[in-house]
């Protein structure tokens, strides 16, 4: 039997790569990163699509290619690519603000737009947008990053409602997954003192690992999760 196809953005490393490895048993994968050289590992049998999401034209090209090549068969999209530049807003260069808005919010919106077109025609599909605990809690020195992540939650909730109008059999689901502190390149540069502070705030008394998130995504994509829609699933050891 043919495997269902899933797009994972930001699959070169960290959470995206772990999600890809977890899903590779059951699904056929379309993996994205900003460029081919970024991939730390290429999962055998996967398809690769590259685009730098800071560049709006590349995002347009990426969406066109996605629709053209996988428009008949796409089962799900995981909008995982993201970046952060942590600093006080009053010292944040405009180019960093634009990069966070483009990669974390504009690109997922455009990819959701493409996916909604595809899923509307196929009458089924799942979108999972990867947000963050800070999209709800806020976080000093991550104001723009947090704003983009809060945007993704609102996007998912709205699209879940929109999907009900598009799909006759109500089989399009749109969700957000919000990890807490997970050990990847993104968090590697955080000073030990700040890490200790976060650890003190986590009832589970450990940082998350990429497996914690990948396992949840595997479940959320399955038919067992068919009644989970529009909501924001927190994976943060109880942080908020």
Ligand X SMILES: NC(=O)c1ccc[n+]([C@@H]2O[C@H](COP(=O)([O-])OP(=O)(O)OC[C@H]3O[C@@H](n4cnc5c(N)ncnc54)[C@H](OP(=O)(O)O)[C@@H]3O)[C@@H](O)[C@H]2O)c1
DSSP structural state of residue 232: E
Choose which of 26, 38, 113, 228 interacts with ligand X (CB under 6 A). Answer: 38
Choose which of 6, 30, 31, 186 interacts with ligand X (CB under 6 A). Answer: 186
Question: How far does CA 238 lie from the centroid of its chain?
Answer: 20
Please name the residues in contact with 194: beta carbons below 8 A apart, sequence gap of 6 or more.
none
Instruction: From 104, 98, 42, 54, select the one nearest 79 (Cα to Cα).
Output: 104
Q: Which stretch binds ligand X (CB under 6 A): 111-119, 166-174, 175-183, 219-227?
A: 175-183
Q: Which is it for strands 172-179 and 74-79: parallel, antiparallel or unpaired?
A: unpaired
Choose which of 6, 12, 146, 163 interacts with ligand X (CB under 6 A). Answer: 12
Instruction: For 215, list phi and psi in degrees, rounded to 5.
Output: -60, -45
Annotated catalytic residue 70:
no
Q: How far is the CB of 83 from ligand X (least distance, A)?
A: 4
First-to-last alpha carbon distance for the chain, in angstroms, is 42
Site for ligand X in 92-111 (CB under 6 A): 103
Choose which of 20, 82, 167, 175 interacts with ligand X (CB under 6 A). Answer: 82
Q: Is residue 14 near ligand X by the rule CB under 6 A? A: yes
Using CA atoms, how far apart are residues 192 and 223, in angstroms rounded to an integer?
Answer: 41
Q: Is residue 16 near ligand X by the rule CB under 6 A? A: yes
By CB under 6 A, name the binding residues for ligand X. 10-16, 33-35, 38, 52-54, 80-83, 103, 130, 132, 179, 181-182, 184-187
Which residues does the annotation mark as catalytic?
145
């Amino acid at each position: 039997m043919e495997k269902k196809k899933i797009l994972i953005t930001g699959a070169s490393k960290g959470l995206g790569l772990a999600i890809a490895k977890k899903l590779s048993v059951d699904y056929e994968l379309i993996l994205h990163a900003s460029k081919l050289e970024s991939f730390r590992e290429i999962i055998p049998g996967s398809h690769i699509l590259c685009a730098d999401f800071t560049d709006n034209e590349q995002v347009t090209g990426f969406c066109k290619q996605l629709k053209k090549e996988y428009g008949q068969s796409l089962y799900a999209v995981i909008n995982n690519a993201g970046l952060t530049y942590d600093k006080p807003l009053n010292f944040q260069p405009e180019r960093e603000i634009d990069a966070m808005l483009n990669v974390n919010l504009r690109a997922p919106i455009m990819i959701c737009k493409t996916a909604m077109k595809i899923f509307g025609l196929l009458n089924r599909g799942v979108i999972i947008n990867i947000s963050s605990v800070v999209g709800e809690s806020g976080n000093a020195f991550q104001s723009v990053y947090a704003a983009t992540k809060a945007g993704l939650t609102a996007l998912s909730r709205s699209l879940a409602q929109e999907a009900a109008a598009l799909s006759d059999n109500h089989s399009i689901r749109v969700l957000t997954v919000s990890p807490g502190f997970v050990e990847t390149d993104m968090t590697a540069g955080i000073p030990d003192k700040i890490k200790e502070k976060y650890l003190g705030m986590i009832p589970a008394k450990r940082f998350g690992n990429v497996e914690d998130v990948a396992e949840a995504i595997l479940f959320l994509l399955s038919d067992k999760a068919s009644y989970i829609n529009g909501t924001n699933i927190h994976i943060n050891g109880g942080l908020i």
